[in-house]
Amino acid sequence: MTIKDIAIRSGYAVGTVSRVLNDHPDVSDEARARILAVVDELGFKPNSNARHLKQREARGFSIVVKGTHNLLFAGIVEEMQSRIKDAGHSANVYYLDEFDNEVELALQVCREQKPLGILFLGGDRDNFTRSFGKVACPCVLVTTRADTLGFANLSSVSTDDVAGAAAAMDILLDAGHDKIGIIGGENSKNADPLSGYNSSQLRLAGCRQASLKRGIDFNPEKQLRISRYSMDGGYEAAGSLLEQYPDMTAILAVSDVMAIGALRAIYDKGLRVPEDISLIGYDGIEQAAYCIPRLSTVRQDVEQLAKRGVDILLQQTDGGAAVHEIIPFRVIHGESVKDL
């Protein structure tokens, strides 16, 4: 069934049907009523391929989510969708694998859907450097800084990863720990885990800074393990630390998911959190609060990241300049850190 069937059945031309379907103002009430009745009766749905193929004007927003299973992003997406809807717009969400190229996907979306703007949840700096120049619409990168990328149509809303990780580290240091194992997150293969702009790299830099500031040596060889962003990865990494760094008294993981894995690894070695090993995560996902013991962590402000991301995108769509905003994090004191 096509628009043509509706035209025949309603006695109007296809152009008029199209106008009704698109809420075009120049249509008589009579035509609108008649056509909508037929559309309803036949259960007609326009073919969006044809629509997008022809449509030149941009409509709706797109949200590109890097990492299907990312629990932090899951919360942000929901919040964004409802905010976009509240602003009277529609939103399409695209999920891609953690290791796929989000900018290439965005390029395709631009070509084929012509969105008013795009929100990126997470992003790999290299992908942006390489291909973002070809994206024309306003975009906001959420949870990752984009100020140093220097694109005029790319804003960002993020948490200060360096400061956040330093704050997490400070919790452990303040509690008297100075033998701290650290679990970093895997980025693009063979990148230096300690320098660079990806979130794990920034967080590890924060850990090191916090250490050095107190005159405590930071020895990656001994203290650091790199892991996938998964419970399984955290489990392995913590296991390795527990074995090879026996006088360690605390572990910091740069994501809660890995911390949850570490928690179980510690128990499986016959140790307890926080009695034997203190533990702190990062992100502040819902699950952290359901752990036993409740996980101490640094919470990224999901509501604000979503709200400001959408606000800035809407603003930029109206011709505003790119903005780079830092949203404050919050330290969550759970039950997983013990004073020495």
Partner DNA sequence: CTGAAAGCGCTTACAG
What does 27 bind: a second copy, DNA, none (CB cut-off 5 to 8 Å by kind)? DNA
The one-character DSSP state at 149 is G
Q: In sequence order, what DSSP letters do the residues of 260-329 get, joined into one string? A: HHHHHHHHHTT--TTTT-EEE-SB--GGGGGSSSPPBEEE--HHHHHHHHHHHHHHHHTTPPP-EEEPPP
Residues 12-31 that bind DNA (CB under 7 A): 12-16, 18-19, 21-22, 25-28, 30-31
User: How many positions of this chain bind DNA (CB under 7 A)?
Assistant: 29
Binding residue for DNA (CB under 7 A) from 47, 82, 108, 188?
A: 47
Cβ atoms 276, 251 nearer than 8 A: no
HSE, side-chain direction, 13 A CA sphere, residue 285: 18
- Mask 51-70, x = binds DNA (CB under 7 A)? x-xxxxx-------------
Task: Determine, following the binding rule CB under 8 A, whether residue 291 of this chain makes contact with a second copy.
Answer: yes
Task: Determine, following the binding rule CB under 7 A, whether residue 271 of this chain makes contact with DNA.
Answer: no
Task: Determine, following the binding rule CB under 8 A, whether residue 235 of this chain makes contact with a second copy.
Answer: yes
Nearer to a second copy, 46 or 196 (CB): 46
For residue 334, give every residue at least 6 positions away whose Cβ sits within 8 Å of its Cβ, in sequence order, or none.
Answer: 288, 289, 291, 293, 294, 295, 296, 297
User: How many positions of this chain bind a second copy (CB under 8 A)?
Assistant: 32
Nearest approach in angstroms of CB 28 to DNA is 3
Task: Determine, following the binding rule CB under 7 A, whether residue 108 of this chain makes contact with DNA.
Answer: no
Residues 243-262 that bind DNA (CB under 7 A): none
What does 231 bind: DNA, a second copy, none (CB cut-off 5 to 8 Å by kind)? a second copy
Q: How far is CA 332 from CA 167, 267, 275, 336, in A?
A: 11, 22, 19, 11
Q: In sequence order, what DSSP letters do the residues of 34-66 get, joined into one string? A: HHHHHHHHHT----HHHHHHH--S--SEEEEEE
Binding residue for a second copy (CB under 8 A) from 193, 261, 274, 334?
A: 261
The edge-to-edge listing of strands for the beta sheet with 224-227 is 224-227, 180-185, 250-253, 278-280
What does 108 bind: DNA, a second copy, none (CB cut-off 5 to 8 Å by kind)? a second copy
254: closest CA among 277, 267, 270, 238? 238
Nearest approach in angstroms of CB 99 to a second copy is 13
Of the chain, the end-to-end C-alpha distance in Å amounts to: 72
Task: Determine, following the binding rule CB under 8 A, whether residue 228 of this chain makes contact with a second copy.
Answer: no
Residues 87-106 that bind DNA (CB under 7 A): none
Task: Determine, following the binding rule CB under 8 A, whether residue 47 of this chain makes contact with a second copy.
Answer: yes
The CA angle 283-289-292, to the nearest 5 degrees, is: 120
Q: Report the interface residues with a second copy, using CB under 8 A.
A: 45, 47-50, 52-53, 68-69, 74, 77, 93, 95, 107-108, 111-112, 231-232, 235, 260-261, 263-264, 267, 286-287, 289-292, 294
Q: Report the interface residues with DNA, using CB under 7 A.
A: 2-4, 11-16, 18-19, 21-22, 25-28, 30-31, 44, 46-47, 50-51, 53-57
